Amino acid sequence: MSTFGQLFRVTTYGESHCRSVGCIIDGCPPGMELEEKDIQPQMTRRRPGQSAITTPRNEKDRVAIQSGTENGRTLGSPICMIVQNEDQRPKDYGNQTMDMFPRPSHADYTYQEKYGIRASSGGGRASARETIGRVAAGAVAEKYLKLAYGIEITAFVTSVGNLHMFPPTPECPTPSQNPEFLKLLETINRETVDKFLPVRCPNEEASEKMADLIAEYKEREDSIGGTVTCVIKNVPSGLGEPCFDKIEAMLAHAMLSIPATKGFEVGSGFGGCEVPGSIHNDPFIRSAETAAPESGAARNGIPRPKLTTKTNNSGGIQGGITNGAPIYFRVAFKPPATIGQAQTTATYDGDKEGILAAKGRHDPCVVPRAVPIVEAMSALVVIDALLQQMGRHEAVRQLPSNNKSMQPSDNGVSMIQ
C-alpha cells in the first residue's frame, strides 16, 4: 500500500506526469512549529537538476501545506502537503516503441502485469517523483525528533561502483571494526556532506574519483550503482517493537521500499558474519552521554541511558530494540535501469524482439539524490517507534506499582533504573 507507519502514518500519492504529488501525514504531534521553510531544504536536496550528474528534469518542487497547521503550528490533524508537477514532458516517453516494449529492469512490464494498465509515459507510480511525499513527510518527522530528543540523521554516499570509502579487507571484513569509520559516524552532519557535492561522499579523494566515475558512465549512456550509509544519533533506548517490528526490520522495510534498492545491512552487517562472537559482542560500559542540549528531553531533565557499548557492531540495536548508541546502516542502490544505450528486449506479449533506446531524462547514478530519501525514511521509522514507546512509557508511569524496583523513573521513554 501507499501508507507507512502506525502512529505517524504517511500516505503518499502521485505519478511522474499527473497534476501533483504529495502526501498526508496523520498523527503528527500537535503544537509543533511547522512551516513550509522547514520542509523545503530536504525537497531541494532531493530535487532533480541539481548538477551535471543528475537528471536534467527541472522541477522547483515547492511544497505547499494544505491543512493541519494554523498560525505556524501543527494542530494534530492530518497534514496534507502538495508539490505541483511542472516540467512534465510526456512526449519524451510516450513514443510508439516504448508503448510496445517494456524497458528492461524497469517497472513497465510488472505494472502492466499487476494492474492490467500502466501510465503511458514516464515511470508512473514507479518514478522517483513518488519519493517527494516521503521526503516532505520525513522533514516533518525530523523536525519533531530534533526538537524533542536532539536526534540527528545523516546519510552519505559510501560507494559508487567498485569505489568504496571503507573497502572490506580480510582482517576487517566490515567497516564496523574500522576506527576511522566509527569516528566519522560521530562527527558527520549534513553541512559536511553537502560540502562534497555533487556526490555527497564526505572524503575529498573518494568523492572526486566517484564523480569522475559517474561522469564516465553518463558519457557512455550507461549507469552505475552505489551505496548510502546513514547514521542516527541521540536515539533514546527502548525503541523498536518485538518481534516482527524490530527497529532494524522497520528500517529494512523502509529502505527496500525506496526505488532501485537491492540491499540493507545494519551494524556489522554482512561482514559481521565473519567476525567471531567473542569479538563481535559489544561489552557494556557506563555511558558518559548526556541528553542532547536544547532538546525538549534535556529541558525536561530526561537522562540518557546509563549504559552504552564499548564497540558498536550491533549498530545501536539489540534484540530489535535500540540501546541508545548510534544506529547505522548501509543501503545498496542498483545502476538505474533507464539508460541511453540501445538494448534488446521483447514486446509485452513476447511475440517480437526489438531494440529499445530510452529517451527521457534520468540519472546515471542515483546515490547522491538518494541521500535525503534515506534520511526521510529513517525519520519515519524512528518517529513511529518513538511514539509507540512513548505511549508505553506513559502507560507504565500510571501503574501504581508496589514493587519499587519496577517503578520506572520518569526518564523519557526508557524504563530501567
Q: How far apart are CA 146 and CA 78, in angstroms?
A: 21
Tell me the pairing of strands 20-26 and 69-70: unpaired
Q: Could you say whether residue 303 binds its own copies (CB under 8 A)? A: no
Residue 245 binds its own copies (CB under 8 A): yes
Nearest approach, Cβ of residue 254 and its own copies (Å) = 8
Residue ranges in 306-325 that form contacts with its own copies under rule CB under 8 A: 306-307, 309, 313-315, 317-324
How far is it, in rounded angstroms, from Cα 135 to Cα 328?
A: 19
CB of 284 to its own copies, least distance (A): 4
Q: Which residue in the set 51, 52, 58, 115 belongs to the binding site for its own copies (CB under 8 A)?
A: 115
Rounded CA separation 191/73 (Å): 27
Q: With binding defined as CB under 8 A, does residue 112 bind its own copies?
A: yes
Q: Active site includes 245?
A: no
Give 162-229 as a DSSP string.
Answer: TEESS---SS--SGGG-HHHHHHHHH--HHHHHHTTTTT-SSHHHHHHHHHHHHHHHHTT----EEEE
Interface with its own copies includes 374 (CB under 8 A)?
A: no
Site of grid cell 567498485: 162
Contacts (Cβ under 8 Å, ≥6 apart) of 260: 225, 333, 334, 336, 337, 366, 370
List the catalytic residue out of 61, 282, 363, 384.
363
- Check residue 92 for interaction with its own copies (CB under 8 A): no
Which residue's C-alpha cell is 514486446?
347
- Looking only at residues 272 through 291 of this chain, which bind its own copies when binding is defined by CB under 8 A? 272-278, 280-287
Site for its own copies in 195-224 (CB under 8 A): 217, 222-224
CB of 108 to its own copies, least distance (A): 8
Q: Which stretch binds its own copies (CB under 8 A): 44-52, 100-108, 194-202, 368-376?
A: 100-108
Least CB distance to its own copies at residue 192 (A): 23
Binding-site size for its own copies (CB under 8 A) equals 191
State how far the Cα of 82 lies from the Cα of 79, in Å rounded to an integer.
10
**Active-site residue, 106 included:** yes
- Containing 266, the helix (H) or strand (E) segment is strand 261-266
Q: Which of 26, 38, 99, 106 is catalytic?
A: 106
381 belongs to the binding site for its own copies (CB under 8 A): no
- Residues 120-149, interacting with its own copies (CB under 8 A): 120, 124-126, 130, 144, 147-149
Active site residue 363: yes
Assess 95 for contact with its own copies (CB under 8 A).
no
Answer for which of 65, 153, 232, 379 binds its own copies (CB under 8 A) is: 65
Q: For its own copies, give the closer residue by CB, 43 or 387.
A: 387
CA distances from 196 to 153, 160, 206, 210, 369 (A): 17, 14, 10, 11, 13
